[in-house]
Structure 1
Amino acid sequence: MTDYDVLRVFCGPRGDHGNELGVVRDGTDIPDREDRQALAAKLGFSETVFVDDPERGVIDIYTPTLRLPFAGHPCVGVAWLLDVPELVTPAGVVGTRLDGEFTWIEARPEWAPSRTLKTYASPAVVNALPVPAPGEWIYAWAWEDVAAGRVRARGFPGRGDGITEDEATGAAALLLTAELGRALNITQGRGSQILTAPQPAGLIEVGGRVRLA
């Protein structure tokens, strides 16, 4: 079995929760895309990352069923693990920085996979939502505090690959930030925390806490 690390990305204020991420530090052990896809399916994380060049930050991202050119929580997790100034993904170069307990990435909304953003009347309504049938990728959200930019959210991938709800989704947070045009403090899933902030030139920062599982 190939060696890999397991990280929890976008942990809550006490270091709990977060979305698990598999990271194969030596991607050269598994150079073939079909083999990478098979391992990602076997591990069963919402995403698994293969690091192809740790010094340059070259990475390759897979869900259990498909390869992604960019994804938020994998980039935040690997940025924390490698501590490099940027990551190179098929979508483009992702800027990174560490700031105290938070790790940040800087990316473009158009790099994010498609998500359907659905607004609800209150956090209580979002909390009560049942997992929808497989279909579109749904990011359900409601304002907790408009003035403070606090949002309650849940993510439903709808892919039929065993991941019925995503604990924390950086790409969806990036898209929601682009749509609302303001910094957000998002609580997703059981209690994961995602911070975002619009930047110049159409870029958006996404940040959170990372822990080694």
Structure 2
Amino acid sequence: MDEVAVVRVFVGPDGEGGNPLGVVTNGPTVPDARRGEVAARLGFSETVFVDDAPLGCVDIHTPSTRLPFAGHPLVGVSWLLRRQGHPVDVLRPPAGQVPTWEEGETTWIRGRAEWASGRRTEQFRTVAEVEALPAPPPGEGWLYAWAWEDEAAGRVRARGFPRRGDGIVEDEATGAAALTLTAGLGRSLVIRQGAASRILTRYHQDGTVALGGRVET
């Protein structure tokens, strides 16, 4: 039987929001051929299979595809592993080694922009325009719609639309798209996404971006 934990990743300051994540903690018992089926059955935007907890080896699936890297699954599984007695410093998804750490209530990972390819960002003039978008907007392919709430302070309003035909209409919080936006702008951000989620990012000159947020069960 699949052993599944559910956490909320990138929870907002008031304890609301956060993107639900399914974590299959007994990953080695789930064959590769079944993982897509399990992710589709669970119905989360992403599901993580933990293949080796002490080493941080993980495998990420959407309901329709396998991902080499994704932000909210890695932040969420890092938080969960620590609380299950496996305080890893590095996660190992297919994309490569991902450093991870905690600062107070915030769990962080650090990745490379090229790992988050395939997510198009589009700037809108106002927050109201972003909030008025239908879910999903017309078109195909991953869309991260955003506008400045306060450009000087680096505060952004965003919404994420996978548009991949697997039943996930809108992502409540999307780390990989936040990484893409941060890398493109070349600056650290505070992103308010979805209904009530918050994503923190730190831009680094070596081309990496750190993603951070609160995680709760």
The structural deviation recorded for 1:143 is 0.1
Tell me the C-alpha RMSD between the 2 structures: 0.9
Is the counterpart of residue 128 in structure 1 residue 132 in structure 2?
yes
Give the Cα separation in 1 of the matches to 2:152 and 2:138: 34
Q: Are the counterparts in 2 of residues 123 and 144 from structure 1 also a CA contact under 8 Å?
A: yes
Is the counterpart of residue 96 in structure 1 residue 100 in structure 2?
yes
The structural deviation recorded for 1:133 is 3.9
Helix, strand or coil at the partner of 1:201: coil
Give the Cα separation in 2 of the matches to 1:200 and 1:79: 24
After superposition, the C-alpha distances for 1:53-104 in whole angstroms (9 at most, x for unaligned) are 0001000000000000000000000111113101001101000010101000
Return 5+ residue gaps in structure 2 as ranges: 83-87
Is the counterpart of residue 158 in structure 1 residue 163 in structure 2?
yes
Q: Which amino acid aligns with 1:33?
A: D
Return 5+ residue gaps in structure 1 as ranges: none
After superposition, the C-alpha distances for 1:135-186 in whole angstroms (9 at most, x for unaligned) are 2110000000001000000000001111000000000000000000001000
Corresponding residue for residue 21 of structure 1: 21
Give the Cα separation in 1 of the matches to 2:77 and 2:3: 15
After superposition, the C-alpha distances for 1:14-66 in whole angstroms (9 at most, x for unaligned) are 22110000001110110x22201100000000000000000010000000000
Corresponding residue for residue 174 of structure 1: 179
Corresponding residue for residue 85 of structure 2: none
Q: Percent identity among equivalent residues?
A: 59
Q: Which amino acid aligns with 1:138?
A: L
Corresponding residue for residue 72 of structure 2: 73
Q: Are the counterparts in 2 of residues 134 and 159 from structure 1 also a CA contact under 8 Å?
A: no
The structural deviation recorded for 1:200 is 4.1
Corresponding residue for residue 4 of structure 1: 4
Aligned length: 211
Give the Cα separation in 1 of the matches to 2:95 and 2:44: 21
TM-score, L = length of structure 2: 0.95
TM-score, L = length of structure 1: 0.97
Corresponding residue for residue 197 of structure 1: 202
The structural deviation recorded for 1:199 is 2.0
